[in-house]
Amino acid sequence: MPDVIVTGLPRSGVTLAAALIDSLPNAVCLNTPVWQTTQARRLRGAIPFCKWLAGDFIWQRNRLIKSLPVNDYRAPDGSPLLDSMDERLPKDENGEPVATQIQPSGLQGDFILAVKHDVLYTCVLPALAEISCFKIIAIIRHPFDVIDEWQAYPETQLGKGHLPFAAHYWQEAALQNPEQKTDLLDRMVQLYELFIKRYHELRAHVQIIRYEDYVADPKIISRLFDIETLPPLANKIVRKNPVRDGKGVEALRSRFAKYGTYTRHYYPTL
């Protein structure tokens, strides 16, 4: 089984997809490992980082098969988070996330090892595709829902229409500068479109999955690994009401009519 990269648009259901993978037989999906984030800040080139990343997968695979502890962002009982804002995530006195040590037992042979990073892996995606030692999954979600989520957290970088991390790896997206005097909604729409453009241009190397599709049929996640049974966590999926009307929808619709060339490949009724 190849190592698995799980990425996608922030607030599009990437964490939930990672949890479903983690629940499959003989599988582990790590959630945004902090040591990878740290290494990405140290290295300036995408290819050196991705080569290091391939080695990190080997290292973590060896630890996991030996049931050695690995730090991961999870609920206190070791179960995977279902959302990046999951309230079960432990935090310190400053409100910062705290990792939990996990020691999965019973992993066998060539088990599924997946790791989830939404922004970081998307930033280096061309290099990841070039290295070609990974199975790459990208989760996307209807733009109205994603941008509604971004707007709900105006204090965050995404809430300011700005790429939150690893901008030095993806200069095109880094140009979406929150200090620019362009309209905030314009910046958000253009940033969303850049994510979709990146996945679409690399679709020969990336399995693009819509949130709406895998929520309706969780076996889509299982079938990525030739498994026909439902992921055991499928019963934990909470279906959210889509944003299709109300204040702001027409503004979004008009902007995607202008900027959404790649988005319309996946959501043609915009």
**In the chain, alpha helices (H):** 14-22, 34-42, 46-65, 119-123, 125-131, 143-151, 171-174, 184-201, 211-216, 219-223, 249-259, 263-266
pLDDT band for position 7 (cuts 50, 70, 90): very high
pLDDT of residue 74: 96
pLDDT of residue 38: 94
pLDDT of residue 241: 86
Weakest mean pLDDT among 12-21, 144-153, 246-255: 246-255
pLDDT of residue 174: 76
pLDDT band for position 1 (cuts 50, 70, 90): confident
Q: Alpha-carbon distance 86 to 91, whole Å?
A: 11
First CA to last CA across the chain, in angstroms? 37
Q: Alpha-carbon distance 86 to 79, whole Å?
A: 12
pLDDT of residue 105: 87
pLDDT for 124 beyond 60: yes
For the full predicted model, state whether its pTM sits above 0.75.
Answer: yes
Mean pLDDT (the chain) is: 93
- What is the tens place of the pLDDT at every residue in 158-208? 999 888 877 789 988 876 554 556 789 999 999 999 999 999 999 999 999
Reference 21, options 206, 223, 239, 240; nearest CA is 223
Is the Cβ–Cβ distance between 4 and 114 less than 8 Å?
Answer: yes
- Written as one string, the DSSP assignment of 135-197 is EEEEEE--HHHHHHHHHT-TTSTGGGT---S-GGG-HHHHT--TTS-S-HHHHHHHHHHHHHH
Top CATH class of 3-158+202-242 equals alpha beta
Q: Are strands 70-72 and 100-102 parallel, antiparallel or unpaired?
A: antiparallel
Average pLDDT over residues 126-154: 95
Tokens describing residue 205: 């190397």
pLDDT of residue 168: 83
Q: Where are the domains of the chain?
A: 3-158+202-242
Average pLDDT over residues 28-49: 94
Other C-beta atoms closer than 10 Å to the C-beta of 82 total 19
pLDDT of residue 176: 57
pLDDT band for position 4 (cuts 50, 70, 90): very high
Maximum distance among all alpha carbons in the chain? 55
Average pLDDT over residues 205-224: 98
DSSP state of 159: G
- What is the tens place of the pLDDT at every residue in 66-102? 999 999 999 999 999 999 999 999 999 998 999 999 9
